[in-house]
Structure 1
Amino acid sequence: MCHFFASQNPDSYAFETRSIRLNGQSTSIRLEKIFWRILEQIARTQDMSVPRFISTLHGEILGLWGEVANFTSHLRCICLVALERGPEAAAPDQRRVA
Structure 2
Amino acid sequence: MPKPILPVNFADQAPKARIVQYNKKRYSIRLEPVFWRALEAVAKDHELKVGKFIGKLETIYEGPNFSSFLRVFCMISAERNLASAEVDTHKDTLISIINASPSPAALIAQDMTIISSNNAFYSWLGENKHALEGTTLNKLFQIRTKGLLKDSLNDLLSLQINHIDARIIRMIPGKVITAQARMVRASLFNHKKQYLVIWIASAPRVAAPKSA
Relative to 1, partners in 2 of residues 1:93 and 1:70: Cα closer, same or farther, differing over 3 Å?
A: farther
Q: TM-score, normalised by structure 1?
A: 0.73
SS at match of 1:8: coil
Relative to 1, partners in 2 of residues 1:40 and 1:75: Cα closer, same or farther, differing over 3 Å?
A: same
Distance (Å, rounded) in 2 between the aligned partners of 1:28 and 1:93: 34
Tell me the alpha carbon deviations over residues 20-45 of structure 1, each in whole angstroms, 9 at most, x when there is no partner: 23664323100000000000110001
Correspondence 1:84 to 2:79: yes
Relative to 1, partners in 2 of residues 1:26 and 1:75: Cα closer, same or farther, differing over 3 Å?
A: same
Contact 2:22 2:52 in 1 (8 A): no
1:59 Cα deviation from its structure 2 partner = 1.0
Distance (Å, rounded) in 2 between the aligned partners of 1:91 and 1:28: 32
Bigger shift: residues 23-32 or 43-52: 23-32
Q: CA RMSD in A?
A: 2.7
Partner of 1:64: none
Relative to 1, partners in 2 of residues 1:45 and 1:14: Cα closer, same or farther, differing over 3 Å?
A: same
Spell out the pairing of 1:41-60 with structure 2 (5 A cutoff): 41-60=41-60
Q: TM-score, normalised by structure 2?
A: 0.36
Partner of 2:174: none
Distance (Å, rounded) in 1 between the aligned partners of 2:45 and 2:73: 14
User: Which structure shows the bigger proportion of residues in strand conformation?
Assistant: 2
SS at match of 1:48: coil
Partner of 2:35: 35
Relative to 1, partners in 2 of residues 1:22 and 1:83: Cα closer, same or farther, differing over 3 Å?
A: same
Report the number of matched residues: 89
Which 5+ residue runs of structure 2 have no aligned equivalent?
A: 85-113, 124-212
Contact 1:20 1:51 in 2 (8 A): yes
Higher relative contact order (CA 8 A, sep 6+): 1
Tell me the alpha carbon deviations over residues 24-79 of structure 1, each in whole angstroms, 9 at most, x when there is no partner: 43231000000000001100010001000000111123xxxxx4210000000001
Which of 38, 60, 68 is residue 73 of structure 1 equivalent to?
A: 68
Relative to 1, partners in 2 of residues 1:86 and 1:20: Cα closer, same or farther, differing over 3 Å?
A: same
